[in-house]
Structure 1
Amino acid sequence: MFLKAQFTWNVAIPAETLSVEEQVLQKAIFIHLLDDFATKKATKDHEYFLAVTTLDKIGKGKVRQNAGELLFPVDFSAITFKVFKGEIIEGIVNKKMQDYKYIAGENPFVLSNKSSKIEKDVVVRCVVLGTKWAEADREFSMLVSMDGDRLGPVA
C-alpha cells in the first residue's frame, strides 16, 4: 500500500559547500536530503521510501563539532510503500513453493497440482502471509502464498 508520511531528519551539509545565498543553501540541503533518502532506502516502521513529495521546513543549522559540517533539521513529506499481512500484491517468484514441481528444460518452469504454470518473467498475484525486516540489508523479506481465489499467474 502506498502511504504518505511526515518525516523530520537532520541533514548534514559540509562547510565547504555552504553559500550565503539562501536559494543555493536550500538547494544544497534538498540535494543532500534526496541522497540520504535514496541511501536509507527503507525503515522497519515505514518500509520502502519511494519519493519526497514536499519540503515543508528547514530549521536553523547547528555546527557539528569536529566534523566540519552543519546539521539542518528538515521536515518533509514522502510517499512510502508498506506491505500488510493479508494484502494482495503482484510480484516475481524467487523460491519454489511446496506444492509446485520444477520442470527442467530449455524454458524451465514450475507446475502445480492445480496446473498453474510459473516460469521466468511470469507475473504472479499472491497474498502476503508475513514480512521480516533485515536491518543489515535494509530490506524486507516476504512470505506469500498463491493459494486462493484469483491468485497465481497473471494472464
Structure 2
Amino acid sequence: MFFELKLKRDVILQPHELKSGMYLTGAVLSKLVEDLNLLKCTEEHGYYVAATTLESIGQGRIRSVTGSVVFAVEFNCLVFKPYKGEIVESVVSQITRTGFEARCGPFESLFVHQKMMEGFEFHEAQSPAFNTFKDSQGTEIQKDTVVRVKLIALRWDDRERTYRALATLNDDYMGPVQAFETGLDLNK
C-alpha cells in the first residue's frame, strides 16, 4: 500500500557539497534523496519511493571536527509498505518447480508456492528461463507475466533491509491479469 508520510531527518552536507552558486535547497534535497536511496526500506515505514515536498530546512549546525553542516529537515515522502491480506499486482521474475518469485515495485521478495495456486501444474522447459505453470484452460504463468496475488505472510529481513512475503492465487480474481482482461474465469 502506498502512503505519504511527513518525516524528519538530519541531512549532513560535507564542505565540498556546499558549492558556490548552488542553492542550499537543491544541495539538501539532492543529499536527502541520496540518503533515502541508500536506506531503501525500514520496518516501520516500508520502502522509500520518493521525497515529494520539502517542508522546511532547519538552521545548519557546523561540526567542529569535520566541518560538515547538519540540517534538520522536514519533508513529505511517498512510501510503499506491504500488509498481510493486501492484494497486489506483481511481475513474475523466476519460476521453479516449487513455485514462482515475483516483484511489485520496490518490493522484490514475493513467493507463491505451488500449493498456493490450485489448478496450475509445473511445466519444465529445456532452459529454466522458460519454465511455466499452466492450468486446464490454457492460462499460463511464465517469466514477466503480471499476476494478481494476495499476501498471506510477511517477514522483515533486517540484514537485507527488505520485506519477504508469501502469497496465494487461491482466492477470487487472483492469477494472471491478462486472463481477466480476455474474460477467462480462473475460479472454475
Q: After superposition, what is the alpha-carbon deviation per residue over 1:71-108, rounded to whole angstroms, capped at 9, x for unaligned?
A: 10000001111112111101134460233542112542
**Number of residue pairs aligned between Structure 1 and Structure 2:** 154
Q: What residue is the counterpart of 2:184 in the other structure? A: none
Gaps of 5+ in 1: none
Does the 8 A contact of 1:42 with 1:48 survive in 2? yes
Runs of 4+ aligned structure 1 residues displaced above 4 Å come to: 112-116
Shift of 1:110: 1.6
Are residue 102 (structure 1) and residue 116 (structure 2) matched?
no
Q: Distance in 1 between matches of 2:87 and 2:26?
A: 39
Structure 2 gaps, min length 5: 100-112, 179-188
8 Å Cα contact 1:116-1:152 kept in structure 2: no
What secondary structure sits across from 1:91 in the alignment?
strand
Higher relative CO (CA 8 A, sep ≥ 6), structure 1 or 2?
1
Q: Taking structure 1 as the reference length, what is the TM-score of the superposition?
A: 0.87
**For the aligned residues, what is the CA RMSD?**
2.2
2:144 matches 1:143: no
- Distance (Å, rounded) in 2 between the aligned partners of 1:31 and 1:154: 37
Same amino acid, percent of matched pairs: 30
- 1:122-144 Cα offsets, whole Å, 9 max, x none, are 11111011221222222111111
Gap change, CA 1:65 and 1:142, over 3 Å in 2: farther
For 1:67, the equivalent position in structure 2 comes to 66
Could you give the per-residue CA deviations for residues 6-41 of structure 1, whole angstroms, max 9, x where no partner exists?
1110000012333577x6222211111111122111
